[in-house]
Amino acid sequence: MKRTIAALCLAGLCGAVRAPRADDPARAAHTFAIGRGAFLLDGKPFQIIAGEMHYARIPREYWRHRLRMAKAMGLNTIATYVFWNYHEIRPGVFDFHTGNRDLAEFIREAQHEGLWVILRPGPYVCAEWDFGGIPSYLLESPAARVRSNDPGYQRAAARYIRALGEQMHPLLVTHGGPILMVQVENEYGSFGNDSAYKNATRRMLVGAGIDVPLFTADGDEEFAQGSIPGVFASATGEENYDSLSARAEPFNRGFGPNMIAEFYPGWLTHWDEPLPSTPLSGFLSKYDSLLARGASVSLYMFHGGTNFGFTSGANYTKTMPIEPSMTSYDYGAPLSEAGWPTEKYYALRDVIRRHVPYPIPAVPAKLPVIAVPAFRLTKSADLFDLAARASPVHAQDPRSFADLDQSQGYVLYRHHAAVALDGELAVPGLRDFAEVFVNGRRVATLDRRTKRFTAHVSVPAGGRLDIFVENMGHINYGPLLVDDRKGIVEPVTLGGQRLSGWDMFRLPFDAPSTRAGNTTDAGRPSVYRGSFTIDGTGDTFLDMRGWHRGIVFVNGVNLGRYWRAGPQQTLYLPGAWLHRGRNEVEVFDLEGHVASPSITGLTTPILDQLEH
């Protein structure tokens, strides 16, 4: 990893700003201001008709297609969050250029397609993204508090905003770019009411050279707490015009139009819960009315995309300590996860057409879709094969992922029993899911979701106790996000006795496994490998219904988590990541006893099938 980071820096990828593309349109500076009752673009009233899409959730090769789909629905602006932890790959080391991290290129492509941009850089963003975009290394110190004036957090956030400012400065509307506005923090009113913190975040942005109008975005009950004097206040939620106006007037005092930064045509989905219903008629009539009365509105989401890899976050409720978000971020958006226009897309297009003076282009053709015949995979290694080739960290008590310098994936915690142990195994600090093994045999499953932190376990003298822990996504919303350290974060007891002396094996799965073993044990988490051959590329959806729970790599790319619980039963595989000919697949399944280890590529996704 250190060599990779050094190479990025030597290549100029840690902070250098790229030159504009040769085919970019002429970039003349514009003015954008908040006037009386309206936004003013070059001195003329401008209504923002926007939709949110996230560059990190879309294959880079498809950015242009998705932007053209936005233009063809009638949007004139794209809003996007910026994910701090996606760009700060190690403390103080930033990558704004490789692969999907090339934010500046995404914004230039939006400008090339004739779209303006609203930037939402946080530093906290929520977005059902892991830890709301905050880097998990900030959890190494239990005393640190994110989203606060804690000096450690402030230094790290300021470093990020400075690095971002270097990239974004040439792309602000005042410098010939398409960025009209930049958001300060995100829905802070639902978290706190610290004026000093809010103003410190505003000063960071201004100090980084952000010289376009700033704004805040907050929900109904938190509007007052999240606002900042002198910063334009916008709303989130399905507001009607009159209620929106009543809330905004005390803060904006007649400046600017009424604005909804997040107007929801759909909603998010967690694992093991039904797909939300998103009725069309009521939503459309509100949207129509808002546009008719001059409000500026951004749809959240216009196109959700996918939580590739381990990027999905988690929520919680009073009864459920953690609710992990699905890999698909389809969100019930008008443009589906795979970029297909839906009934909602065409209905919104018809509404927008009635309110805009500019022509709306034809809808682009759908990208190619292919079926992949069933192909078999073979078990190549199990959990203990992987651990045998890893270097353990030793400590008296279990350490969190952050303390082990690991953000995502899995950790195997191992204790050797000097004497026989029998009784209740208690892992109160489990975050989030664990399989328990004694001498290599699975004996229990623990789950933070269901508050199952104990199980009866017997370990013979000289025996080995293994607790294999999965991070199911750092909490991304609400007060509990401030201390959502992963792994085992409290001492472990067995039969009331505190267990001291642990070896911890880090298994981040930030790349496919290169290790192999000879195990045939059917009860352990296992790696399976296989391949398929195709004559032509296209998007497909891997059918994981014969599997249990885990992750899938295709040609070295982690497509994200699957889980038989549903409702998502397929993983979106973009054709841009496939090759004509042979394609390599690796599956890490946490159950490890797959009856028929094969996969088929479907032409349509399955996102609504729960299994109990």
Domains of the chain with CATH codes:
43-353 (3.20.20.80), 372-377+515-602 (2.60.120.260), 390-507 (2.60.120.260)
pLDDT of residue 595: 86
Give the tens place of pLDDT for each residue, 188-205: 999 999 999 999 999 999
Q: What is the DSSP secondary-structure string of 151-197?
A: HHHHHHHHHHHHHHHHHHGGGBGGGTSSEEEEE-SSSGGGT---HHH
Unique residue bearing structure tokens 């809330």: 247
Sheet of 393-395: strand order equals 393-395, 502-507, 410-416, 464-470, 433-438, 441-447
Burial (CB < 10 A; 0-12, 13-18, 19+), residue 307, is: buried
Sheet of 581-589: strand order equals 557-563, 549-554, 581-589, 526-534, 372-382, 598-602, 540-543, 570-573
Q: Note whether 58 and 303 are within 8 A (CB).
A: yes
**E-strand stretches of 461-580:** 464-470, 487-488, 493-494, 497-498, 502-507, 526-534, 540-543, 549-554, 557-563, 570-573
pLDDT of residue 154: 97
CB neighbour list of residue 522: distance below 8 Å, 6 or more residues apart: 592, 593
pLDDT of residue 418: 96
Helices (H) and strands (E) in the chain, counts: 11, 35
* Phi, psi (degrees; rounded to nearest 5) at 547: -110, -175
Burial (CB < 10 A; 0-12, 13-18, 19+), residue 497, is: exposed
Per the residue annotation, which of 109, 187, 239, 591 is the catalytic one?
187
**How many CB atoms sit inside 10 A of residue 330's CB?**
25
Give SS3 for 547: coil
The amino acid at 200: A
Burial (CB < 10 A; 0-12, 13-18, 19+), residue 519, is: middle
Instruction: Name beta bridge partners: 129.
Output: 312
**How many CB atoms sit inside 10 A of residue 383's CB?**
27
337 catalytic, yes or no? Answer: no
CA angle 97, 158, 508 (to 5 degrees): 55
Residue 544 Cα distances to 39, 309, 489, 572, 583, angstroms: 48, 16, 32, 11, 17
Give SS3 for 315: strand
Per the residue annotation, which of 52, 128, 239, 262 is the catalytic one?
262
Give SS3 for 581: strand
Q: What is the mean pLDDT of each run of 10 residues along the chain (612 residues)?
A: 33 38 62 97 98 98 98 98 97 96 98 98 98 96 89 97 98 97 97 96 98 95 90 92 91 95 96 91 94 98 98 96 98 98 98 97 97 96 93 97 96 97 98 98 97 98 98 97 96 97 97 73 89 98 97 98 98 98 98 92 97 78
Q: Which of 113, 234, 111, 96 is nearest to 175 (CA)?
A: 111
Give the tens place of pLDDT for each residue, 444-475: 999 999 999 999 999 999 999 999 999 999 99
Instruction: Name beta bridge partners: 599.
Output: 375
Diameter of the chain by CA atoms? 80
CA distance 177 to 212: 11
What's the residue count for the chain?
A: 612
pLDDT of residue 517: 64
187 catalytic, yes or no? Answer: yes
pLDDT of residue 26: 52
Peptide bond into 544 cis (omega under 30): no
* Phi, psi (degrees; rounded to nearest 5) at 277: -90, 135
Q: How many CA atoms lie within 13 A of 575 on its CB side?
A: 20
CA distance 185 to 121: 7
pLDDT of residue 22: 47
